[in-house]
């Protein structure tokens, strides 16, 4: 039997049981759509996170107090809630003296109530140097940043995030020049950051108050140590060389001779990308694995229906064999039917998946202000098509072989 005739016969058989064909296909449609959606979400999340990390700048080095136990991916002690006081001004001064370092910006962080008029909001605040805004590439959208002079003089000035500005002042009131109270200390708003979204390491750039380091340390926190130091490497130097210099300086300053006893952790953008890339890849794989369960369930559904179909059409199989069909002709016909069911299901699943992915993009971008990246990987489409076709072959072969092997006499006698 020619393939064209077998194809025609199979499509006709499927068309005669439209409702059954559609319902059978549904399992594969849902399975493929799930794989597509979850792979796409995984890819989007990965792109979003990696973009943000890349947005930090490739020449930045983050120095965090506390060792990380030597593991490349293990968290430094300070990020586990332990207060470590080892990172101080002396270290920053030493960094600045290094020719390969163009800037070293210390940061301290805290959480406090910010009040304007009747609006009272709990936010994270950050005390830092004036260079912070250029080093972290966080420009102001309105007003200006505070200056080096402001930091040295301990001026009560603040730069706030755009979302916080809207929450405190509403959509119409200009925040510049207004006085807010942070932990009962008055600050004059001098600038509003440009919209940036949630930045790397989970800091919400749009919902933050940034004040001079001196004010934060002396009046808000009462500390002399830093939460972290951001180092900007001279682009003429290799980042790993700069990293080694930073390590050297800190070990010297902190009198550390045994590297396993380092009381600091150094992270570059590359490290962060490696960690996040690993996490998101595993996440995407995990999501795809979950989705593939529904694909297997769909495939078993196909096999089940095909087995029922073979039994129901026993007499037809007997007749076809009596008038000259070979085992191979019958196998071919049933296999085409199952592959047709799964591949059409696959195409519908891809379209459905694309529609849902588009909807997610629309909702996240328009209603949640998340800079969601629309990712619809070609690999997911090819995978969807490939997997659905293979599912048709895998789950269709057993019923098709069963059909092909039927004895024509028994098949013709079947009631």
Partner 1 sequence: MIDIRGLQKEYTDEETPTVALQSVTFSIAKGEFVSIMGPSGSGKSTLLQILSFLDRPTGGTYTFQGKSIDDMTDQELAHVRNKDMGFVFQSFNLLSRLSVYDNVEIPLLYSDILAGERTGLVEKAVRAVGLEDKLYTEAGKLSGGQKQRVAIARALVTDPNVIFADEPTGNLDSKSGLQIMEILEALHEKGRTVILVTHETQTAEFADRIIRVKDGMIESDEPIQNKRIHNGALK
Q: Residue numbers of the site for partner 1 (CB under 8 A)?
A: 1-2, 4-5, 9, 12, 16, 315-316, 318-327, 329, 408-409, 412
Cα–Cα distance, 225 to 84 (Å, whole number):
8
Find, among 327, 348, 332, 337, the residue nearest to 392 by Cα. 337
- Residue 16 or 72 having the CB closest to partner 1: 16
- Residue 4 or 72 having the CB closest to partner 1: 4
- Residue 184 or 415 having the CB closest to partner 1: 415
- Residue 57 or 408 having the CB closest to partner 1: 408
Cα–Cα distance, 295 to 203 (Å, whole number):
38
CB of 10 to partner 1, least distance (A): 12
- Residue 47: both structure tokens together: 């792109």
Residues 190-208: b if buried by 16+ CB within 10 A, e if exposed: bbbbeebebbbeebebbbb
Find, among 356, 354, 308, the residue nearest to 334 by Cα. 308
CB of 273 to partner 1, least distance (A): 60
CB of 311 to partner 1, least distance (A): 16
Bridge partners of residue 64, in order along the sequence: 265
CB of 333 to partner 1, least distance (A): 10
CB of 414 to partner 1, least distance (A): 11
Helices and strands (H and E) in the chain: how many: 13, 10
- Residue 3 or 367 having the CB closest to partner 1: 3
CB of 401 to partner 1, least distance (A): 15
- Residue 238 or 327 having the CB closest to partner 1: 327
Cα–Cα distance, 250 to 271 (Å, whole number):
19
CB burial of residue 353 (10 Å; 0-12, 13-18, 19+): buried
Helices 18-56 + 269-312 axis angle, to 10:
180
Cα–Cα distance, 21 to 262 (Å, whole number):
65
- Residue 275 or 412 having the CB closest to partner 1: 412
CB of 14 to partner 1, least distance (A): 12
């Amino acid at each position: 039997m020619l393939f064209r005739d077998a194809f025609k016969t199979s499509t006709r058989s499927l068309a005669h049981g439209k409702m059954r064909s559609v319902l059978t296909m549904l399992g594969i449609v849902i399975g493929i759509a799930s794989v597509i959606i979850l792979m796409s979400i995984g890819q989007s999340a990965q792109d979003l996170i990696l973009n943000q990390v890349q947005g930090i700048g490739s020449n930045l080095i983050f120095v965090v107090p506390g060792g990380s136990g030597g593991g490349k991916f293990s968290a430094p002690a300070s990020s586990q809630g332990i207060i470590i006081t080892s990172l101080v001004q002396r270290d920053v001064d030493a960094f600045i003296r290094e020719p390969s370092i163009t800037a070293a910006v210390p940061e301290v962080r805290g959480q406090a109530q910010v009040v304007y008029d009747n609006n009272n909001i709990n936010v994270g605040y950050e005390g830092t140097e004036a260079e912070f805004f250029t080093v972290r590439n966080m420009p102001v959208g309105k007003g200006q940043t505070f200056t080096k002079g402001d930091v040295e003089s301990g001026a009560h000035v603040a730069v706030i995030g755009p979302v916080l500005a809207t929450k405190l002042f509403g959509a119409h009131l200009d925040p510049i020049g207004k006085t807010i109270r942070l932990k009962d200390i008055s600050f004059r708003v001098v600038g509003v950051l440009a919209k940036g979204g949630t930045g790397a390491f989970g800091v919400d750039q749009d919902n933050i108050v940034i004040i001079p380091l001196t004010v934060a340390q002396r009046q808000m926190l009462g500390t002399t140590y830093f939460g972290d130091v951001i180092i900007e490497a001279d682009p003429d130097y290799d980042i790993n060389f700069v990293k080694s210099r930073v390590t050297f300086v800190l070990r010297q300053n902190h009198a550390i001779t045994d590297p396993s006893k380092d009381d600091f952790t150094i992270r570059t953008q590359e490290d962060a990308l490696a960690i996040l890339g690993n996490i998101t890849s595993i996440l995407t794989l995990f999501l795809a694995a979950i989705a593939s369960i529904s694909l297997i369930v769909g495939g078993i559904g196909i096999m089940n229906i095909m087995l029922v179909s073979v039994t129901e059409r026993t007499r037809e199989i007997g007749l076809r064999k009596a008038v000259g069909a070979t085992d191979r002709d019958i196998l071919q016909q049933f296999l085409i039917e199952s592959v047709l069911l799964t591949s059409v299901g696959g195409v519908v699943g891809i379209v459905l998946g694309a529609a849902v992915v588009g909807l997610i993009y629309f909702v996240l971008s328009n209603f949640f202000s998340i800079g969601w990246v629309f990712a619809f990987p070609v690999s997911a489409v090819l995978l969807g098509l490939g997997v659905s076709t293979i599912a048709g072959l895998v789950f269709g072969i057993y019923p098709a072989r069963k059909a092909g092997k039927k004895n024509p006499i028994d098949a013709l006698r079947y009631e």
